[in-house]
Structure 1
Amino acid sequence: MNGFTRTVMRTVLQAIPTILGIIVISFLLLYLMPGDAVDAIAGMSGSASQETMDALRDTYGLNDSFIVQFFRYLGGVLTLNFGTSISYSAPVLDVIMERLPSTMILMLTAFVIALTVGIMVGWAMAVFAGKWPDRLLTSTSLLLYSAPNFWVGLMIIVIFSARLQWFPSGGAETIGAALTGWGWFLDRLKHLVLPSCALAAFFVAIYARLTRAAMLEVLRQDYIRTAAAKGLHPMLIQFRHGLRNALIPVTTVAGMHLGNMLGGAVVVETVFNWPGIGRLTMSAIAARDTQVLLGILLLTSVVVIIVNVIIDWLTTLLDPRIRS
């Protein structure tokens, strides 16, 4: 059994109690939340008799005890049946899978932007440590770190959409354009740029600061001085010997931040009107659709676990000592 297989098996075994704990805690918190989907339906319709509301609760099993509802849901999860959405009148899995690809595209794009820009900015900060480029980039990183996602998103819309008119202000594609092929791809790409940059801004600051600290630590090591004494080019030393070892903590932290990126996607998708899991979550909260909320929490947890497996594998590639 190779190292990657052992990593996968270990992560899967650790994931089983984690997922079970997520199901229990999420179900309990949503059960204790005031109101239910029937109350939301009555509020949207304007009026409903108590008999009608009681009949709806009996139909959807909302009058059953916590234990009965929990084990009914748990039994459904074991058979990949996440229930039926009351507000959408459709299977929860179908509702989520319709929105999940858009969120995954947004998150992966933001993740790549955050890692690439953050690592390169952190490398530049370490190379010019104590000089004006370092101070300028540090100040910019602190601004991105302290600014909330919704403010960054609004400023990006004002500058690049309202003022410069380079990119559309929201949505995933141009409505009514009926584009196909290369034109459809470019249209989707233009709509993706602003929300992905807004989502990545906070994480660019984190990865830049972390890369800077790790690079400064690595560049003080004895093997770096030995490589310089052998006459290797400074750029080769910085990238091959310095940056590669500095990426180990950055890669580990990046996997841990994926859950935070999912949380940030809720705000960004709302600001940019992006049709993904974030907007679906807000709609489900407003409609008290607990089945959809439970499905989102469970499936996103599985996505985070899968990404952590990939991050562990990348870490073993960067550091041969972990494989041994």
Structure 2
Amino acid sequence: MIKPLFYRSLSLVLVAPAILLLMTLALGLTGISDRILVSIAEQTLQEVKKSLATQIHDPSALEAAIQLRKQEIYSSYGLDKPWFYRMFQMIVRIATFDLGRTRVIKSFTGSQEVSEIILERIPNTILLVTIPLIFSAIAGISIGVKIASRPGTLLDRLTSYLSIISYTLPSWWIGIVLIILFGFYLKIFPVSGMYSIPPPSDTLSRILDLIWHSILPFTTLVIVQIGGWIYSARMIVLNIAQEDYVNAARAKGLPEDIVRRRYILRVAAPPIVTNIVLGLSGSLGGAIITETIFGWYGMGSLYYQAIMTLEENLLIALTYIYTLIYISARIILEVMYLALDPRVRY
């Protein structure tokens, strides 16, 4: 059992270099990588021109010096070679977690190291995206399992309709409605940012201020997520509850709690756990729309900023990290399947 599980995990791990390769090929073949580096090189060259102009007054000598420095600058960025030479080096560098530096985007402390920028954004995303996901999953699964035991009742129909409405509502629309209602009209909650301006000085006040600013985006994500959890849990449990072995257990006179726990939830556990683990791993990628609307500095808004500013290193690093998170989640699921479902054998 261990050997097949190892090979399955190894096949998942090979996804990471494949994603890196595809990402770098996309940037290279489309010419985006060259355009980004040429833009950086030209900015550097402009600074060099200003410096040389104050030192060299002969126009021909100045032009010759500029051309020489231009060749040196272009060579330092790898622009004197075909793009695939540079892309191969980037793949090796990113794969070994040498994530490089950004051009424009900086960390809260002013650092341009990609690793530092990412590390300071992850806690913000966990607070805003992961915690609402956990809350929505626990509440949604509990409600879904409960109403699945009473199919066709008024409560079941009402909850099903509300869950479908919740699932189909776009997060940006809910966010804007909450901002208009509670931010502008009632003026109860702040409409943007993570802290007040100026932020509180003591630790407790900062924590309370952060919680206060997170209520609207937190509520937005819960509203749009909980419906999906209710509906999926209801459908999974409802389908299993109609199986013959469940009806046989009820015919034997077993209490409904035992039937639900031993014969329904045990079988329903693998797909529900799959949704939870993949949802948690996906939540670390952030919520681009919600974070942008509420001015929250998380992984989602960071990815959006990286796209808008064409931060090549940051884009590839974020994609690589998201891939590693997904691979880790899949390996965890493979192990959990063995514990949850005795029928699974590799």
- Fold-level match, TM-score > 0.5? yes
Structure 1: segments with no counterpart, 5+ residues: none
CA contact (8 A) 1:73 1:83 kept: no
Change (3 A) 1:313 1:157: farther
Report the CA distance between 1:103 and its aligned residue.
1.8
The answer to which of 117-126 and 48-57 deviates more is 48-57
Report the CA distance between 1:18 and its aligned residue.
0.6
Change (3 A) 1:117 1:284: same
The answer to which of 312-321 and 23-32 deviates more is 312-321
Q: Render the CA deviation track for 1:64-120: whole Å, top value 9, x for unaligned.
A: 422111111122124321222122472222222221222233332132123112212
Are positions 1:29 and 2:46 aligned together? no
CA distance in 2, matches of 1:268, 1:200: 12
- Please give the residue correspondences for 1:215-234 in structure 2 after superposition, counting only pairs within 5 Å: 215-234=237-256
Report the CA distance between 1:270 and its aligned residue.
0.6
Report the CA distance between 1:282 and its aligned residue.
1.7
Change (3 A) 1:177 1:293: same
CA distance in 1, matches of 2:307, 2:241: 49
Alignment counterpart, residue 200 of structure 2, candidates 159, 177, 191:
177
Structure 1 counterpart of 2:90, one-letter code: Y
CA distance in 2, matches of 1:260, 1:79: 23
Alignment counterpart, residue 139 of structure 2, candidates 94, 114, 117:
117
Alignment counterpart, residue 299 of structure 2, candidates 252, 266, 277:
277
Aligned length: 318
Are positions 1:17 and 2:14 aligned together? yes
Identity of matched residues, %: 26
CA distance in 1, matches of 2:164, 2:103: 44
Alignment counterpart, residue 70 of structure 1, candidates 83, 87, 112:
87
CA contact (8 A) 1:258 1:304 kept: no
Partner of 2:62: none
Alignment counterpart, residue 102 of structure 1, candidates 110, 121, 124:
124
The answer to which of 309-318 and 256-265 deviates more is 256-265
Are positions 1:249 and 2:266 aligned together? no
CA distance in 1, matches of 2:71, 2:230: 55
Structure 2 counterpart of 1:75, one-letter code: V
Alignment counterpart, residue 289 of structure 2, candidates 264, 267, 281:
267
CA contact (8 A) 1:83 1:291 kept: yes
Structure 2: segments with no counterpart, 5+ residues: 50-65
Partner of 1:148: 170
Change (3 A) 1:129 1:42: farther
Alignment counterpart, residue 78 of structure 2, candidates 61, 74, 98:
61
What is the TM-score normalised by the length of structure 2? Answer: 0.76
CA contact (8 A) 1:40 1:288 kept: no
Report the CA distance between 1:280 and its aligned residue.
1.4
Report the CA distance between 1:252 and its aligned residue.
1.9
Report the CA distance between 1:297 and its aligned residue.
0.5
Report the CA distance between 1:294 and its aligned residue.
0.5
Structure 1 counterpart of 2:103, one-letter code: I
CA RMSD, Structure 1 to Structure 2 (Å) = 3.5
Report the CA distance between 1:174 and its aligned residue.
3.6
Secondary structure (helix, strand or coil) at the match of 1:94 reads helix
